[in-house]
Amino acid sequence: MKTKIFLFIALIISVLVNAQERTITGKVTDETGAGLPGVIVEIKKTNRGVITDSNGSYSIKVKDSDKVLVFKSVGFEPQEVKIGSKNLINVTMKPSIQKLEEVVVSDYNVEKKEVYSNAAPLMRPSGRMKSKAYESMPYPSPSHRMDYDKEYNNSEEYKSEKEIGFKATNKDPQTTFSIDVDRAAYTNVRRFINNGQIPPKDAVRIEEMINYFDYNYAQPKGKDPINIETEISDSPWNKGLKILHIGLQAKTIPTDNLPASNLVFLIDVSGSMSEPNKLPLVKTAFKLLTDQLREQDHVAIVVYAGAAGLVLSPTSGKDKTKIKDALDNLSAGGSTAGGAGIELAYKTAMENFVKNGNNRVILATDGDFNVGVSSNEGLEKLVENKRKSGIFLSVLGFGMGNYKDSKMETLSDKGNGNYAYIDNLSEAEKVFVKEFGGTLFTVAKDVKLQLEFNPKYVKAYRLIGYENRALANEDFKNDAKDAGEMGSGHTVTAIYEIIPTGVESSFLPDKLKYQQFTQTFMGSNSDEVCTVKIRYKQPDADKSVQMEEVVKDSHVALEKTSENFRFSAAVAEFGLLLRGSDFKGTANYEQVINLAKNAFGKDSEGYRAEFLKLVKTTKLLDKTGNREVAKGEE
């Protein structure tokens, strides 16, 4: 009897305590009024907290006994606000970039390595550098960054690509490249900037930064699953030059009409994945994806560390609890046999192959393979052989410090898939919830573009970015040559910078003294600037189909161009600055900001507003403004 009375009293107390809870909402902004995503909002002296969304908004439950809210974000001064009787608490955070010791990152330990890397320096959990000599130094400028890297280097790896220069139209009228829907470079760059660091230039792939954002292109109307849109106007950073904007829109398939999925989650559970921003975030990301699955979809889970193993046999998307329980039971430890994991994942996918379905391996890793097949060349060959099976590969990168970007990009490029870097929960939601169809369901594969420029209008041209996507012109019609894939609803944007005929530019090579020649061009009497050709294959086809679009210059002023044009140009200009491009001309942060802020469009998720915040933060970090490439980065 006493026990029942005690339980009853405890229940009453619990109800009273819960009744005393209330919800506080608010928005966290920077000094310009832009919302700050990813800010930690926690109740002081408790382990309860939330994170602001992409617009900087938050909602948190508090008790009467809670006194203070604490707001924390990398690169900003922490703030404490008394709760009192308030139900609405808005906070403006001030940047803090004076000293390295004031920049806080999540728990991370790193050992000093002999191998040189271009990655930015890492800090211990306290936010302090390893050597006390650096604690009082001002924030590292780009010119100091390489010295820091050499003393405090980590093992992040980025492939170095030489920037594409201008080509003379009278010698090379054609240009060919594979499309790229990968978006990893943007989120990785964002990670560096949010950690108060200028990213290494090889981490900056401009085409992936541009294509992180969706653009308002029209849906395809005919039988082709791709629509082409083009636009020409003045270059914001090189006076007298022009920009050609090419936009592709893939057909959007309603979720209810998507084919059944045969998915294999391939998860790296090696020791290097034990950090909070690795395996724990991987689990949460895959749980978000699991919530999107239907009864006809099936998931298997393969893990690898010192060896590979199947931890969940194919399970219906209806049984979400079973899939999530399998994810919860994973833990990290051991070396990294990535090649063995890939072999088992493809084998599992083949054994459960769904004809006319979405057969895909989704790899989640930091890329630090060190057992078995681990070289970029070996992994490339392995994945190239596997893609012939009709199974696509999506690659998700996680973590920092030992992140192997070069391996991840190789895998996605050769595996008929896409590549994303997940730096926080919001990005996981973007990839697996908001862009679910585009991430997982291919509508066109091996998509290639070829442009032919008319020398009557174009003296020279260069493609901005896509350095590792260039193809030989003869590969355009070669159906055996691999190229990029477009998923349901995907957009792809490419930008060419053009030197018009009659315009002199220092970017052109000197004229040859003894090699003067004249040539007659068939297109010289045409008003066409160029012709854009596209080849693609249906997801289950081996033969490509060709589309064409003729481009003419309507002489539209830059300020009269579409929001698509101006915002993509702003992102491209920001990329030129981050890379210290030889072709950046008069590019500067203020110009990027002015271009971007007037081209937000709908921006319902706040991604473009977040971009503006990154540019402003980078401007503060890079106090020299229009900087040059640091010595030793070439």
pLDDT one-digit tens code per residue, 83-104: 999 999 999 988 764 332 222 2
User: 121-125, 452-456, 610-614 — which is least confidently predicted?
Assistant: 121-125
User: What percent of the chain lies above the pLDDT cut of 90?
Assistant: 49
Q: Give the list of residues 6+ apart from residue 457 with CB closer than 8 angstroms, or none.
A: 500, 501, 528, 529, 553
What's the pLDDT at 180?
Answer: 83
Summarize the confidence of residues 139-146 as an average pLDDT. 36
What's the pLDDT at 261?
Answer: 92
Q: Give the list of residues 6+ apart from residue 125 with CB closer than 8 angstroms, or none.
A: 105, 106, 107, 108, 109
| pLDDT of 82 strictly over 50 | yes
Pick the CATH number of 259-434 from 3.40.50.410, 3.40.50.970, 3.40.1260.10, 3.40.50.1360: 3.40.50.410
- 22-92 and 167-253+443-511+523-621 in the same fold: yes
Per-range mean pLDDT, top range of 152-166, 264-278, 405-419: 264-278
Beta bridge partners of 26: 58
Band (173; pLDDT cuts 50, 70, 90): very high
CATH no., domain 22-92: 2.60.40.1120
Band (631; pLDDT cuts 50, 70, 90): very low
What's the pLDDT at 338?
Answer: 67
Gap between the Cα atoms of 484 and 438, Å rounded: 13
CATH no., domain 167-253+443-511+523-621: 2.60.40.1230
Band (549; pLDDT cuts 50, 70, 90): very high
Gap between the Cα atoms of 182 and 411, Å rounded: 12
Gap between the Cα atoms of 70 and 77, Å rounded: 11
What's the pLDDT at 404?
Answer: 80
| pLDDT of 273 strictly over 70 | yes
Q: From the CB of residue 314, how many other CB atoms can be counted at a distance below 10 Å?
A: 16
| pLDDT of 342 strictly over 60 | yes
| pLDDT of 382 strictly over 80 | no
Q: Give the list of residues 6+ apart from residue 281 with CB closer than 8 angstroms, or none.
A: 398, 422, 424, 425, 428
Gap between the Cα atoms of 389 and 46, Å rounded: 52
Provide the sign of the torsion angle of the four alpha carbons 488, 489, 490, 495, taken in this order. Answer: positive
Q: Which residue has the higher pLDDT, 407 or 185?
A: 185
Average pLDDT of the residues of the chain: 81
| pLDDT of 78 strictly over 60 | yes
Nearest partner of 247 among 598, 587, 496, judged by Cα: 496
Gap between the Cα atoms of 69 and 52, Å rounded: 13
The beta strand positions in 193-285, using DSSP E, are 226-234, 242-250, 261-268
| pLDDT of 525 strictly over 60 | no
DSSP letter for 138, please: B
Summarize the confidence of residues 47-61 as an average pLDDT. 81
Q: Which residue has the higher pLDDT, 65 or 377?
A: 65
Gap between the Cα atoms of 159 and 204, Å rounded: 10
Backbone angles phi and psi of 581, in degrees to 5: -60, 145
For residues 574-594, one letter each, b for 16 or more C-beta atoms within 10 angstroms of the residue's C-beta and e for the rest, the string is bbbbbbbbebbbebbbebbbe
Gap between the Cα atoms of 147 and 239, Å rounded: 35
Where in the chain are the domains?
22-92, 97-155, 167-253+443-511+523-621, 259-434
Q: Cβ(278)–Cβ(313) under 8 Å?
A: no
